[in-house]
Structure 1
């Protein structure tokens, strides 16, 4: 892939990140950092041009002659638009315009998103029996709720969901990891409910964002790691603190989900009184714990993903 094609994809990712009407300076800086990981020495120029309105979808689409580059551009834009767990009307309009400009059939991408939305919608709390061989422990707080009594303890449930989200990183399906954030949001919602909290979507999203999860640039990192592969090379390893690749993605996702669940548990248990700094410290501590746990469950995560489609894995993990 040429430098011009990579620059074009980054420019389209930038347009995608502002298609909902906003992008702060920190987010813009993170996109610049990801772009540099791809070997773009001065990505600020193309990103600034995209943000200024000087570059349009039609102009950028014309710079992508190959089918591979077109597909990668649309997948990247879709992932960025999906960074908060869903696609807003403005983002949906942007993606449709991009698909039209690229003359691209988006059925594969639409199918992935439909699988994710269906699985999450069918199981809004993700609170049923664990599916990956984690021991089932009666939930003492359920008090008579038969479904909850059959569910795992909260610790086991968090571990279960951490393994499930990690397994999504291992699937061959393009954009399978778009299912990670919705599952993380549902995990937080479920934990809040267990502590008697009545939460709306924005409250859950805000808490997840406190830990730096779900930002468009973070999702762009995942796309870079999963799809660009050898293009990023060792440069991406420096950005992520390890070897670039899907396996690294599974470890990072496992640690993030595990830490998110336990930090959220502490937060709701203490009546949502913890400061942002306290939450981040908790997240860092639990993420370090997860790093030590991952080698013990890595084989189980691989078994979860082996031979499965996105839809079958999501249904297995939430039934």
Structure 2
């Protein structure tokens, strides 16, 4: 993939992020931070690209014009759908943007509809839906009284979810990135449920935003790290098992998931008494710990990436 093609895909990614025009200042600042972070050492001034997109100095037609391969155009649309659906099923403004993008990419309507339907089903699934079997194994029913919260079991589930999301970041399929956010929201739901709280998607989204995790900015970062790291370029259009140069992205997803799980355990386990500032401080402290922990589990993350069936996982998440 040529630098101008990488730049064009990232421009479309940012356009999709701003398509609904409802992003608050906090989310815009997070996306700006992501652009600055991804630009370091990439050879692309992504902070300047962020400003060009925000100020409409680069058009959708300009970006699409650099994508001269069918696989690149398919990837561009799939990526844009993932960004628009990261914080819920796309709204009317995002729908209009995606249709304009589809037409500009000359993508067949049925092909685009299949991508959109898959992403919408994933975005619409409630956080109370089951976790994948490997994270939420069935337990025999019992008439015994409900036991106290098993914190060791919660820790194991949090670690397994972090390993799985770290593995997803190593895979070339852009669909793999779409699975990370639903896995995180369901993990938070399960932790809240363990402590007697029934959470809806709005509460979980607010919880993530309070600790400093924006859904749209997180997806932009996941996709951008794969693209800048060369993983998508090396295996574009293929479904191979090769693990690309995405170690930084894997560490990011592992650490974010682990810290989210642990701060949720502290928050709901403590009766939801932490305020926003304390939650953010706790999350940042745990994020630092998780980054160190990730190195210890790198072999397990890579092994999971080699054996993971993304199609099966996506099917489980869409129910």
Same fold (TM over 0.5): yes
* TM-score bucket of the superposed structures, by smaller chain: 0.7 to 0.9
In 1: Cα distance, 2:275 partner to 2:163 partner: 28
State the match for 2:118 in structure 1. 114
Q: Does 1:277 align with 2:281?
A: no
Query: The residue matched to 1:184 in structure 2 has which SS?
Result: helix
Q: Does 1:51 align with 2:51?
A: no
Q: CA RMSD in A?
A: 4.2
In 2: Cα distance, 1:94 partner to 1:299 partner: 41
Match of 2:100 among 75, 87, 97: 97
* Within-5 A mapping of 1:120-139: 121=125, 124-126=128-130, 131=134
Note the C-alpha offset of 1:63: 4.4
In 2: Cα distance, 1:163 partner to 1:71 partner: 29
In 2: Cα distance, 1:166 partner to 1:173 partner: 14
State the match for 1:29 in structure 2. 32
In 1: Cα distance, 2:302 partner to 2:113 partner: 24
User: Is this contact kept in 2: 1:127–1:151, CA < 8 A?
Assistant: no
Describe the shift of the 1:91–1:270 C-alpha distance in structure 2 as closer, same or farther (beyond 3 A). Answer: same
In 2: Cα distance, 1:300 partner to 1:137 partner: 25
User: What are structure 1's unaligned runs of at least 5 residues?
Assistant: 233-243
TM-score, normalising length from structure 1?
Answer: 0.74
Q: Does 1:77 align with 2:80?
A: yes
1:180-237 superposed Cα distances (whole Å, 9 cap, x missing partner): 01110111122122222232211100111223323433322221221232499xxxxx
Note the C-alpha offset of 1:102: 0.6
- Please say which of residues 1-10 and 215-224 is displaced more in the overlay: 1-10
Describe the shift of the 1:32–1:293 C-alpha distance in structure 2 as closer, same or farther (beyond 3 A). Answer: closer
Describe the shift of the 1:16–1:84 C-alpha distance in structure 2 as closer, same or farther (beyond 3 A). Answer: same
User: Is this contact kept in 2: 1:165–1:257, CA < 8 A?
Assistant: yes
User: Is this contact kept in 1: 2:125–2:318, CA < 8 A?
Assistant: no
Note the C-alpha offset of 1:49: 4.8
Note the C-alpha offset of 1:158: 1.3
Q: Does 1:305 align with 2:308?
A: no
User: Is this contact kept in 2: 1:181–1:214, CA < 8 A?
Assistant: no
Q: Does 1:18 align with 2:18?
A: yes
State the match for 1:178 in structure 2. 178
State the match for 2:68 in structure 1. 65
State the match for 1:205 in structure 2. 205
